Amino acid sequence: MTIKVIENEMQFEDIKNDTKAFMLLKHSLTCPISAAAEAEYRSFQEEANLPLYILHVQEARELSNTIADTFKVKHESPQVLLFNNDQVVWHESHQRIKQDILASHAEKL
Protein backbone atom coordinates (compact mmCIF):
# COMPACT_ATOMS: atom_id res chain seq x y z
CA MET A 1 0.00 0.00 0.00
CA THR A 2 1.12 3.52 -0.72
CA ILE A 3 1.09 5.98 2.16
CA LYS A 4 -0.91 9.06 1.23
CA VAL A 5 -0.54 12.48 2.84
CA ILE A 6 -3.61 14.10 4.40
CA GLU A 7 -3.38 17.89 4.37
CA ASN A 8 -6.81 19.17 5.34
CA GLU A 9 -10.12 18.40 6.98
CA MET A 10 -11.94 17.92 3.67
CA GLN A 11 -9.55 15.14 2.67
CA PHE A 12 -9.93 13.51 6.08
CA GLU A 13 -13.73 13.65 5.88
CA ASP A 14 -13.66 12.09 2.40
CA ILE A 15 -11.46 9.27 3.68
CA LYS A 16 -13.74 8.64 6.68
CA ASN A 17 -16.81 8.60 4.44
CA ASP A 18 -15.29 6.36 1.76
CA THR A 19 -13.13 3.99 3.80
CA LYS A 20 -14.31 1.56 6.48
CA ALA A 21 -10.89 1.02 8.05
CA PHE A 22 -7.60 2.89 7.74
CA MET A 23 -4.51 3.85 9.69
CA LEU A 24 -3.15 7.36 10.21
CA LEU A 25 0.28 8.46 11.44
CA LYS A 26 0.55 11.92 12.99
CA HIS A 27 4.15 12.77 12.18
CA SER A 28 6.40 15.63 13.29
CA LEU A 29 8.86 16.72 10.63
CA THR A 30 11.38 17.88 13.26
CA CYS A 31 11.39 15.10 15.86
CA PRO A 32 13.88 12.20 15.71
CA ILE A 33 11.48 9.91 17.58
CA SER A 34 8.86 10.70 14.96
CA ALA A 35 11.37 9.89 12.20
CA ALA A 36 11.91 6.45 13.75
CA ALA A 37 8.14 5.89 13.99
CA GLU A 38 7.73 6.91 10.36
CA ALA A 39 10.39 4.36 9.35
CA GLU A 40 8.43 1.63 11.18
CA TYR A 41 5.20 2.79 9.51
CA ARG A 42 6.86 2.75 6.07
CA SER A 43 8.18 -0.77 6.74
CA PHE A 44 4.65 -1.84 7.64
CA GLN A 45 3.20 -0.52 4.36
CA GLU A 46 4.50 -3.53 2.41
CA GLU A 47 2.27 -5.90 4.38
CA ALA A 48 -0.61 -3.54 5.18
CA ASN A 49 -4.09 -4.81 4.42
CA LEU A 50 -5.73 -1.39 4.79
CA PRO A 51 -5.12 2.14 3.50
CA LEU A 52 -2.35 4.11 5.20
CA TYR A 53 -2.21 7.87 5.65
CA ILE A 54 0.21 10.35 7.17
CA LEU A 55 -0.43 13.81 8.57
CA HIS A 56 2.48 16.22 9.04
CA VAL A 57 1.53 18.04 12.24
CA GLN A 58 3.46 21.21 11.38
CA GLU A 59 1.55 21.53 8.11
CA ALA A 60 -1.88 20.41 9.32
CA ARG A 61 -2.02 21.47 12.97
CA GLU A 62 -5.72 22.38 12.83
CA LEU A 63 -6.67 18.98 11.42
CA SER A 64 -4.51 17.23 14.00
CA ASN A 65 -6.28 19.10 16.80
CA THR A 66 -9.70 18.42 15.27
CA ILE A 67 -8.98 14.69 15.16
CA ALA A 68 -7.87 14.74 18.82
CA ASP A 69 -11.00 16.62 19.89
CA THR A 70 -13.47 14.68 17.74
CA PHE A 71 -12.23 11.22 18.69
CA LYS A 72 -11.24 12.06 22.30
CA VAL A 73 -7.67 10.88 21.80
CA LYS A 74 -5.04 13.14 23.37
CA HIS A 75 -2.73 14.51 20.67
CA GLU A 76 0.77 13.09 20.66
CA SER A 77 3.43 13.09 18.00
CA PRO A 78 4.33 10.68 16.69
CA GLN A 79 1.01 8.93 17.07
CA VAL A 80 -0.70 6.24 15.05
CA LEU A 81 -4.48 5.86 15.03
CA LEU A 82 -6.45 2.92 13.68
CA PHE A 83 -9.92 3.85 12.45
CA ASN A 84 -12.77 1.41 11.88
CA ASN A 85 -16.37 2.39 11.16
CA ASP A 86 -15.69 6.07 11.96
CA GLN A 87 -14.14 5.30 15.36
CA VAL A 88 -10.60 5.15 16.68
CA VAL A 89 -10.31 1.53 17.79
CA TRP A 90 -6.64 1.67 18.76
CA HIS A 91 -3.86 4.22 19.06
CA GLU A 92 -0.23 4.27 20.10
CA SER A 93 2.57 6.80 20.30
CA HIS A 94 6.30 7.40 20.40
CA GLN A 95 8.67 4.43 20.67
CA ARG A 96 5.77 1.98 20.87
CA ILE A 97 5.07 2.46 17.15
CA LYS A 98 6.61 -0.71 15.70
CA GLN A 99 5.99 -2.59 12.48
CA ASP A 100 4.92 -5.82 14.20
CA ILE A 101 2.54 -4.02 16.55
CA LEU A 102 0.95 -2.15 13.63
CA ALA A 103 0.49 -5.44 11.78
CA SER A 104 -0.99 -7.15 14.82
CA HIS A 105 -3.68 -4.51 15.27
CA ALA A 106 -4.45 -4.22 11.55
CA GLU A 107 -5.00 -8.00 11.37
CA LYS A 108 -7.74 -7.80 14.01
CA LEU A 109 -10.05 -5.89 11.68
The CATH number covering residue 77 comes to 3.40.30.10
Alpha carbon 12 to its chain centroid, in Å, reads 11
Amino acid at 63: L
Please write the tens of the pLDDT for every residue from 14-37: 999 999 999 999 999 999 999 999
Give residue-wise pLDDT tens across range 39-85. Answer: 999 999 999 999 999 999 999 999 999 999 999 999 999 999 999 99
Cα–Cα dist 64/45, whole Å? 22
Segments forming the whole domain that contains residue 96: 3-107
Give the count of domains, the chain: 1
Write down the pTM of the prediction.
0.96
Give which of 32, 41, 34 is closest to 57, Cα–Cα: 34
Q: Is 78 in contact with 28 (CB distance < 8 Å)?
A: yes
Q: Which long-range contacts (CB under 8 A, 24 or more apart) does 65-68 make?
A: 66/9, 66/12, 67/12, 67/24, 67/26
